[in-house]
């Protein structure tokens, strides 16, 4: 029997009773879909799987898309390697929703832990539903119908400023011009409203003066990070996190330098936010 053990009231649940090495029956997938809709992030423990099992879970939910800035696993270009070492420590230390610089940001991601520091390197998630529902009715009405601009170049500005940064990422910048998304989106499965802006990629709200946009986004970014809207996951080797990228933000905690951390991620294509 598959069960879900909630990690925090706003979001997150550990899935028990699933072996991802087995072929996933339609009834199992239906339960996982329902669990993802309800809990927004699903966690699996001790799943000693191969890349093909990782791919099988992802393709059951949609079409995998590779990230323009990260390398792939040998033989599986859609599985991105996210590695942090003493020589090349990770630079992402900001709350964000993945790849909102795309016209169709991902439906979700499935992140698998391969090498984990003895302590540290946890990840936090936050519910975009809880954030929207935590606003006053007047603020909700104000945000309704507004669009915000999201930019790859903004999200990767620190990498671009490094020596060789433009040589490495210039093509990705040209292929990913800024896009606009609604500030409040409606989830295509649950019909719930979600506050869809993030510190990493959102640059401004369309139609506001610069100072107004800065003030409103500054408030929203802080509000999104309210501890009561979050959960925190402590990784172990062979842990997996599967999040709904349409209803969550996340933030890796970079507190483990100079230890190594190696993750493998598959991102699943999503739809245009509405």
Active site residue 50: no
List the structure tokens of 88. Answer: 């090349």
Question: Which among 81, 43, 46, 79 is positioned nearest to 262, based on CA atoms?
Answer: 81
Span between the terminal Cα atoms of the chain, in Å: 36
Site for Fe ion in 18-37 (CB under 5 A): none
The tokens of 16 are what?
């028990």
Task: Give the residue from 250, 111, 128 showing the smallest Cα distance to 187.
Answer: 128
User: Rounded to the nearest whole angstrom, what is the least distance from the CB of residue 96 to Fe ion in the complex?
Assistant: 6
Nearer to Fe ion, 158 or 214 (CB): 158
x/- site string to Fe ion, residues 80 to 99, per CB under 5 A? Answer: ------------------x-
In terms of CB distance, is 98 or 264 closer to Fe ion?
Answer: 98
Q: Considering the complex, what minimum distance in angstroms separates the CB of residue 186 from Fe ion?
A: 23
264 is a site residue for Fe ion (CB under 5 A): no
Q: Which residue is catalytic, options 98, 150, 246, 251?
A: 98
Report the alpha-carbon distance of residue 195 to residue 77 in Å, rounded.
Answer: 32
Asked about 150 being catalytic, the answer comes back as no
Per-residue string for binding with Fe ion, 98-117, x by CB under 5 A?
Answer: x-------------------
Say if residue 258 is preceded by a cis peptide, omega within 30 of 0. yes
Which of 96, 193, 246, 261 is catalytic? The answer is 96
Say whether the peptide bond before residue 34 is cis (omega within 30 degrees of 0): no
Which is nearer to Fe ion, 67 or 260 (by Cβ)? 67
For the question of residue 193 being annotated catalytic, the response is no
Which residue lies nearer to Fe ion by CB, 213 or 264?
Answer: 264
Least Å from the CB of residue 251 to Fe ion: 8
CA 39 remoteness from chain centre: 14
Query: Comparing C-alpha atoms, which of 203, 196, 220, 178 is closest to residue 270?
Result: 196
Q: Which residues bind Fe ion (CB under 5 A)?
A: 98
């Amino acid at each position: 029997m598959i069960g879900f053990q909630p990690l925090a009231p706003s979001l997150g649940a550990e899935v028990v009773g699933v072996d991802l090495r087995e072929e996933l029956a339609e009834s199992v997938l239906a339960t996982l879909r329902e669990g993802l809709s309800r809990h927004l992030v699903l966690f699996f423990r001790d799943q000693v799987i191969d890349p093909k099992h990782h791919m099988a879970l992802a393709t059951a939910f949609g079409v995998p898309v590779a990230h323009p800035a990260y390398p792939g696993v040998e033989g599986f270009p859609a599985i991105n390697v996210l590695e942090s070492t003493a020589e090349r420590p990770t630079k992402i230390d900001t709350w964000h929703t993945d790849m909102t610089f795309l016209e169709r940001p991902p439906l979700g991601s499935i992140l698998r832990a391969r090498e984990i520091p003895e302590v540290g390197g946890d990840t936090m998630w936050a519910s975009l539903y809880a954030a929207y529902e935590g606003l006053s009715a007047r603020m909700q009405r104000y945000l309704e119908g507004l669009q915000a601009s999201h930019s790859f170049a903004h999200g990767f500005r620190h990498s671009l400023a490094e020596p060789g940064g433009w040589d490495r990422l210039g093509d990705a910048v040209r292929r990913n011009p800024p896009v606009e998304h609604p500030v409040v989106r409606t989830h295509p499965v649950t019909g719930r409203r979600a506050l869809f802006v993030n510190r990493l990629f959102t640059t401004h709200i369309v139609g506001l003066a610069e100072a107004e946009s800065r003030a409103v986004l500054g408030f929203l970014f802080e509000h999104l990070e309210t501890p009561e809207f979050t959960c925190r996951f402590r990784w172990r080797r062979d842990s997996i996190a599967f999040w709904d990228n349409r209803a969550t933000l996340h933030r890796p905690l970079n507190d483990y330098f100079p230890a190594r951390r190696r993750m493998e991620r598959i991102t699943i294509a999503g739809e245009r936010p509405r």
